[in-house]
Amino acid sequence: MELIIDRLTKHYNNKIVADRISLTLREGVYGLLGANGSGKTTLMRMICGILKPTSGVVKFNGIDVSEEEYRDSLGYLPQDFGYYPEFSAYDFLLYMASLKGLTKVRAKDKANELLELVGLSDVAKKKIKTFSGGMKQRLGIAQSMLNNPKILILDEPTGGLDPKERIRFRNLISRLGKDKIVLLSTHIVSDVEYIASTILLMKDGQIIHQGSLEDILSPIDGKVFECFVDSHKAADLIAAYPIINIREESDKTYLRLVSDKSPCETAVVVPAQLEDLYLYYFNEGENKGE
Among 3, 29, 89, 102, binds other proteins (CB under 8 A): 102
3-state DSSP assignment of residue 2: coil
Closest CA to 227 of 252, 192, 194, 190: 252
In the bound state with other proteins, the residue whose beta carbon lies nearer, of 107 and 258, is: 107
Give least dist CB 43 to other proteins, A. 9
The answer to the question of residue 185 lying near other proteins (CB under 8 A) is no
Residue 237 · residue 257 · CB < 8 Å: yes
HSE of 196 in the Cβ direction (CA atoms, 13 Å)? 28
Give least dist CB 37 to other proteins, A. 5
Among 31, 39, 242, 263, binds other proteins (CB under 8 A): 39
In the bound state with other proteins, the residue whose beta carbon lies nearer, of 17 and 255, is: 17
How far, in Å, CA of 271 to CA of 246, rounded?
Answer: 17
The answer to the question of residue 98 lying near other proteins (CB under 8 A) is yes
Give least dist CB 216 to other proteins, A. 22
Mark 173-208 as b/e (b = at least 16 C-beta within 10 Å): beebbeebbbbbbbebbebbbbbbebbbbbbebebe
Give least dist CB 104 to other proteins, A. 7
How far, in Å, CA of 191 to CA of 175, rounded?
Answer: 14
How far, in Å, CA of 212 to CA of 193, rounded?
Answer: 9
The answer to the question of residue 223 lying near other proteins (CB under 8 A) is no
Segment 52 to 91, residues that bind other proteins, using CB under 8 A: 52, 68, 71-72, 74-76, 78-86
In the bound state with other proteins, the residue whose beta carbon lies nearer, of 68 and 214, is: 68
How far, in Å, CA of 138 to CA of 120, rounded?
Answer: 8
The answer to the question of residue 49 lying near other proteins (CB under 8 A) is yes
Q: What residue ranges bind other proteins (CB under 8 A)?
A: 12, 17, 36-42, 45, 48-52, 68, 71-72, 74-76, 78-86, 95-96, 98-104, 106, 143, 147-148, 153, 179, 205
